[in-house]
Amino acid sequence: MSTRFTYSRWDGTQKGFEVDAESILESITDDLLYHGDVNSALRRMMQEGMQDRNGDRIAGMREMMEKIRDRREELLSNSDLGGVYSEIAEALNGIIDEERHQLDKNVADAEASGDERRTDTAKQSAAEHHMELEMMPPDLASRVKSLQQYDFQSSDAAQRFEELMDKLREQLMQQYVDQISGDMQNMTAEDMQRTKDMMAALNDMLDKREQGKDPGFLEFMEEFGDFFPENPQSLDELLEIMAGRMAAMQAMMNSMTPEQRAQMQQLSEQLLEDMDLRWQADRLSERLQKLVPGAGWERKYQFSGDQPMGMGEATKTMQELGELDQLENFMRNATSPGALAEADLDRVRELLGDDVAQSLERLAQLTKMLEDAGLINRSEGKLELTPKGLRKIGANALRDLFGKLAKDKIGQHQMHENGGGHERRYETKPYEYGDPFSLDLQQTLRNAIRRQGGGTPVHLEAEDFQIERMEHVTTSSTVVMIDLSMSMPMRDNFLPAKKVAMALYSLISSQYPRDYLGLVGFSETGRILTPAQLPAVSWDFVYGTNMQHGFLLARKLLAKQHGTKQIIMITDGEPTAHITQSGDVYFNYPPVRETVEATLSEVMKCTREGIVINTFMLDADGGLRSFIERLTQINKGRAFFTTPETLGDYVLVDFIEHKRRLSRAR
């Protein structure tokens, strides 16, 4: 069955050029070159977001979390909810007053006994307990938590506090049942019984799992699945849902005002008559807090609005606030774009809108798109550039730098002269006297047949001869020396230097494949780099600019090559280190005579071997200028005083002009 396509004129409204792997890699090129890590570059893109090829914004994590904070602030600033019953606050104060009274009574009884040791012990204990009561936080939820850990001296105060805790637990159960069963005022006796049966069955499942038995999750869902529209697929998912609901109810308890709690007092008292329901809920709550400790049991909110909410609306608001908190925490802890695939996009869409959900979905696909395109792969759990990705990074750097140049400054590596050389052009020409006799037999025979007609034998004449065109090929060998000392990133010079190296790699490998490019990084010492290592290379956290060792390594690389030879050195500092005769590294700032002489000695060796050194200086001070002047006097190379913004222009133009001069010299 053939595929049919329908075409229409582009009117500017159609979509189709959105995000692809190459645009993703292009967006992270600078970040990747600066930090040298695919994983961290993708994480930063995930945080910052990007634009697709249509110009549409793909929001990053920071923007999404800002929307979460805005939505949370909207809910809190518009609504009136508060903390807990005013009578509970009063009861807490009464309990504390009772405890203080008992502490004072203990001291008075000890003094009346005449026992000094008992008196001192009572005073010390009373002082410690008074201080602990004094330091308790003012908000009710925190004060309740502190009193739960407090060692009461008054049995009456302890009893009153336990009674108050029962009352708070009853409120939690009330809200929890309301969350599961809908509006309590409309609940029938059958609904209440079924709610109790569901909680009992859930506790029974937990008992079976603790005993190593099959909890019977599927059977539970067949009977009580209508309680859970989220459609959990396992007991663990079910427990997380229940914990989220109960934690939202706990947050409501932590946040309500006494007046709003009082409105629910009558309904609460009606529900609390059913002790079996309360026992099941308390048992389930205790177990869930142990099984799912990170559900946000201590969460609370400070509402500042003037729009009172009914219990049903308040329940939904608390649930939304809890889900916003969970989503924010999920985004904050996501370590890679792939981790975002775990988000519930439907719920994100309900909470924050279509744009955020779409951005989240597209961010989650970044890593997979790059892997599917063959630009990155995963090695030992870490993302790395593939050879194809390396070439693309180089091409991006080259295009970025070339985009800054006037078009008339740069031409292709082409020659118009025809003649002997090393490279076939896969074109032919009539033979002329003096041409190399590289006969193109197929075209020659075709000319003869066209001239004499068909038949054999075919008679050849001089005018039939067609030869292969050849172009002059000039080869050169280049080593790029990149300064990796700490001053480069400190002065914002590192990224431009590394981008130039990547651009040269791309230029040479694509336009001048017969040319050689070597790479040497130098700081305290020099080291040879491969193009595959270049994206990941970073500056060294050591002191020293060892040009001498860098020149030595570059000279060894070029000794194996043919054609013209040059070193392109990019640096922002004068030589401050060298390798001694014993093989040790010597460092000193400011530079000493021994380091300068050792470096210039390597320059002389390069000069004797026909290696030209062209230096591109960034932020050159007087000391660096003076040294480079001596270097160019010895080597007869050239020196360029550049800035991070113009470095690429200078290097690329000079390299191509160098190639042109070689071509003209042939």
Q: What is the pLDDT of residues 628-652, one digit of tens each?
A: 889 999 998 888 887 777 766 666 6
| Residue 205 predicted with pLDDT over 80 | yes
Percent above pLDDT 70 for the chain: 76
pTM: predicted TM-score of the whole model, two decimal places: 0.53
| Residue 174 predicted with pLDDT over 70 | no
Closest Cα partner for 445 from 427, 465, 430, 462? 465
pLDDT digits (tens, 9 = 90+) for 497-523: 888 888 888 777 777 778 888 999 999
Query: Per-residue pLDDT averaged across 24-35, rounded?
Result: 77
| Residue 15 predicted with pLDDT over 70 | no
Measured distance CA(92)–CA(258) in Å, rounded: 13
Residue 528 confidence (pLDDT): 95
Measured distance CA(587)–CA(605) in Å, rounded: 22
Percent above pLDDT 90 for the chain: 18
| Residue 627 predicted with pLDDT over 80 | yes
| Residue 8 predicted with pLDDT over 70 | no
| Contact yes or no for 238/284 (Cβ under 8 A) | no
**564-571 and 476-483 as β-strands: parallel, antiparallel, unpaired?**
parallel
Query: Per-residue pLDDT averaged across 201-209, rounded?
Result: 90
Residues of the chain with CATH 3.40.50.410: 476-665
Query: Per-residue pLDDT averaged across 101-105, rounded?
Result: 92
Residue 263 confidence (pLDDT): 45
What are the DSSP calls for 68-123, one per residue?
A: HHHHHHHHHHHEE--SS-HHHHHHHHHHHHHHHHHHHHHHHHHHHHT-HHHHHHHH
pLDDT digits (tens, 9 = 90+) for 236-280: 888 888 887 777 776 776 676 555 554 454 335 433 455 666 677
Q: Could you tell me what percentage of the chain is helix, strand and coil, using 3-state DSSP and rounding each to the nearest 5? A: 60, 10, 30
User: b/e per residue, 188-215, with b = 16+ CB within 10 A?
Assistant: eeeebebbbebbbbbbebbeebeeeeeb
Residue 577 confidence (pLDDT): 95
Residue 417 confidence (pLDDT): 36
Closest Cα partner for 217 from 239, 244, 191, 241? 239
Q: Regarding the domain with residue range 476-665, which homologous superfamily does it belong to in the CATH classification?
A: von Willebrand factor, type A domain (3.40.50.410)
Measured distance CA(367)–CA(376) in Å, rounded: 8
Return mean pLDDT, the chain: 78
Query: Per-residue pLDDT averaged across 71-89, rounded?
Result: 69
HSE, side-chain direction, 13 A CA sphere, residue 502: 32
183: confidence class by pLDDT, cuts 50, 70, 90: very low
User: b/e per residue, 151-170, with b = 16+ CB within 10 A?
Assistant: ebbbeebbebbeebeebbbb
| Contact yes or no for 37/264 (Cβ under 8 A) | no
**Is the backbone peptide bond immediately before 591 cis, with ω within 30 degrees of 0?**
no
| Residue 596 predicted with pLDDT over 90 | yes
